[in-house]
Amino acid sequence: MSDPTPKKMFAVYVREVHVQKHLIEASSEQEAIMDVCNGMGEMVEDGGLEYVDTLDTDTWTAEAVK
């Protein structure tokens, strides 16, 4: 017996938490955080992004792909 519902292709957007490492010169940790928050500093390209967690599926979204 064939499946009565035709299959379609979907893109699923999985929400994840990552940590990005940035390098910046500052006089304190708080100043470094504020400066990076304001777009200063440089993100470390190699090894600067670390996976932390995948959020619950109720935060994910999907859309049909043509």
Does the pLDDT of residue 1 top 70, yes or no?
no
pLDDT in tens, 7-50: 999 999 999 999 999 999 999 999 999 999 999 999 998 878 99
pLDDT in tens, 43-64: 998 878 999 999 999 999 999 9
Cα distance between residue 63 and residue 66, in whole Å: 10
Helix, strand counts (H, E) of the chain: 1, 6
List, in sequence order, every beta strand (DSSP E) within the chain: 10-13, 16-20, 22-23, 42-43, 49-54, 61-64
Both tokens assigned to 52:
């932390």
Phi-psi region at 19: left, alpha or beta (left = phi > 0; alpha = psi -120 to 50)? beta
Question: What 8-state DSSP symbol labels residue 58?
Answer: G
Give the per-residue pLDDT at 19. Answer: 95
